[in-house]
Amino acid sequence: MGYRGVAGVLLTAPPQDRPLAGILWMLATGILFVGVNAIVKHVGSELPATQSAFLRFVFGLVFLLPTIGVLFRTRIDRGSLRLFGIRGAVHTVAVILWFFSMARIPMAEVTAMNYLAPVYVTVGAALFLGERLAMRRILAVGVAILGVLIILRPGFREIEAGHIAMLGTAFFMGCSYLIGKRVSGAFDPAIIVWMLSITVTLGLLPFAIAVWVPPTWEQVGWMFLVAGFATAAHYTMTLAFQAAPVNVTQPVTFLQLVWASLVGWLLFNELPDIWVFVGGALIIAAISYIAIREAQLRRSVTPQPEATKAGH
Which range marks the domain in which residue 268 is found? Answer: 5-300
Question: Per mean pLDDT, which of 36-50, 87-101, 141-155, 240-254 is the most reliable?
Answer: 87-101
In a domain? residue 99: yes
CA-wise closest residue to 101 among 123, 88, 87, 116: 116
Q: pTM, whole model, 2 decimals?
A: 0.78
pLDDT tops 70 at residue 266: yes
In a domain? residue 62: yes
Residue 31: per-residue pLDDT: 92
Percent of the chain with pLDDT over 70: 85
Return the amino acid letter for 107: M
State pLDDT tens for residues 222-258: 999 999 998 888 788 778 877 877 667 777 877 888 8
In a domain? residue 65: yes
Residue 5: per-residue pLDDT: 37
pLDDT band at 6 (very low <50, low <70, confident <90, very high): very low
Decide: helix, strand or coil at residue 154: strand
State pLDDT tens for residues 116-133: 877 777 777 777 666 676
Residue 88: per-residue pLDDT: 94
In a domain? residue 306: no
In a domain? residue 307: no
Residue 7: per-residue pLDDT: 38
In a domain? residue 32: yes
Residue 168: per-residue pLDDT: 92
pLDDT band at 190 (very low <50, low <70, confident <90, very high): confident
> Which is more confidently placed, 45 or 195?
195
Decide: helix, strand or coil at residue 14: coil
Q: What are phi and psi of 288, to 5 degrees?
A: -65, -45
Domain count across the chain: 1
> Which is more confidently placed, 197 or 290?
197
In a domain? residue 224: yes
Task: Provide CB contacts within 8 A for 117, sequence distance 6+.
Answer: 4, 5, 7, 169, 170, 171, 173, 174, 177
Residue 202: per-residue pLDDT: 96
Q: Where are the alpha helices (DSSP H) in 65-134?
A: 68-73, 78-102, 107-114, 117-128
In a domain? residue 310: no
Rg of the Cα atoms in the chain? 19
